Chain A
Amino acid sequence: MTTDRNPDCAWVLENLDAFVDHELGEAGHAAVTAHCARCGSCTRELEMAIRVRKLLRTMPAFEAPARVVDAAEREIHTGAANVTALPARRAVRLVRSAAVMAAVLIVIIAGAWFVERQRVAREQKATEADVRRATAQLALAFDYVGRYSNGVVREEVLEKRVLPPIERAISRDPVSRDSAKPKTNQNGM
């Protein structure tokens, strides 16, 4: 480096870092100092260089989390053949995340399906009007059987063969059961 000339700003700025690092030599150091004494612009640059350098050197070093060392040790213990390469390790983590998300999705879908099923079941329950209508039709049917069978279909046959399945069907639904019984009795069946 040449220092036998009066250094201009460009030369000083080019050598600021060397100056800050004390790598400029005695003559170069003196030349920069002399130039900065009469050049405010270069002095500001020099101050900034010193401050930036100082701040950079006080930026923190991080300590590796213990889990990283533990994981590396575990990986080593599993044997060289089983060492997971960096991309694969990330893939494993991705697959694990995807599996968790899939499980959550399944739970949500199953929950929605269950709620919907409950709603449909509630809607499918017979209303009181439905039961009244069905009971009236049943009474009509029995009346028909009684009228045209000329006593062939006896009461015990009705009680053993016809009524039980009807009662069973009605008893499955509490609304039907409560509403149907009085109606059936009303029609003398």
Chain B
Amino acid sequence: MTRDFRDLAEEYAGRVYTFARYSLRHQEDAEDVTQEVLVRLWKNHDQIDPAATSTWVMRVARNLVIDLARRRQSRAAVFAQGADVEEMAAQVPADYAADAAAERSSLRARLEGALAELNEPYRSIVVMREIQGLAYEEIATAMNMPLGTIKVYLHRARRRLRELVQTENT
């Protein structure tokens, strides 16, 4: 059991944690969500189609993120808070941090700020698609939205990101 659980955890923990970190921008909350997803994954893994495990995991993660956000003072306030960029930077893997330290540009900082300003579901879609590299179909399943809607939302999110980056630039 331990080996199997460890295999599942190794495959999905990072993905869930990354999504939760960018969505909630709070380390402890992201850890809670990850732990809960792993527990639920283990409890249900016999019933989940192996080919659909990834989307199942992301859907549960997304639902938990929303639940957690709702439990905070208000969802809007949570998703509108400033990004904890410094805290996030401290968690970045060392090799990436070394590169980032050398190549970090003002555009990148502005982009992080812009991402933090995105409302839901735009931010989740951007994180899944652009940062985590999920396929449109996977995102649609995870978000429980039609494929076309995901594409439209992603398009809007990208355009909004560009606007925000350029606004901060002026």
Contact = CB atoms under 8 A, between A and B. Distances in A.
A68 B38 contact: yes
Contacts of A76: 5, 39, 42-43
A48 interface: yes
Given A69-B9, A72-B42, A61 B131 contact: yes
Contacts of A121: none
Contact of A17 (B30, B38, B155): B155
Chain A interface mostly: helix
B137 interface: no
Nearest to A44: B166
A69 B32 contact: no
Interface in B58-77: 64, 67-68, 71
Interface stretch (A50-58, A104-112, A168-176, A178-186): A50-58
A85 B88 CA distance: 26
Contacts of A60: 92-93, 96, 100
Contacts of B33: 86
Contact of A68 (B34, B88, B91, B130): B34
A72 B108 CA distance: 34
Given A51-B107, A56-B131, A89 B35 contact: yes
Chain B interface mostly: helix
Nearest to B67: A86
Contacts of A52: 107, 111, 158, 161-162, 165
Nearest to A45: B162
Nearest to B105: A55
A72 B39 contact: yes
Interface in A41-82: 45, 48-49, 51-53, 55-57, 59-65, 67-69, 71-73, 75-76, 80
Nearest to B158: A17
A68 B133 CA distance: 23
A55 B107 contact: yes
B120 interface: no
B131 A87 contact: no
Interface string B112-144: 100100000000001000111100000000000
A103 interface: no
Contacts of A80: 43
B34 A55 contact: no
A109 B145 CA distance: 57
Contact of B39 (A53, A67, A75): A75
Nearest to A69: B9
B36 interface: yes
**Residue picked from A75, A86, A87, most chain B C-beta under 10 Å:** A86
Contacts of A71: 35
Interface of B: 2, 5-6, 9, 13-18, 21, 30-36, 38-39, 42-43, 64, 67-68, 71, 88, 91-93, 96, 100, 107-108, 111-112, 115, 126, 130-133, 154-155, 158-159, 161-162, 165-166
5 contacts: A59-B131, A60-B92, A62-B21, A63-B14, A90-B32
9 shortest interchain CB distances as A-B pairs? A64-B13, A64-B17, A72-B38, A56-B130, A69-B9, A61-B18, A62-B18, A86-B36, A60-B92
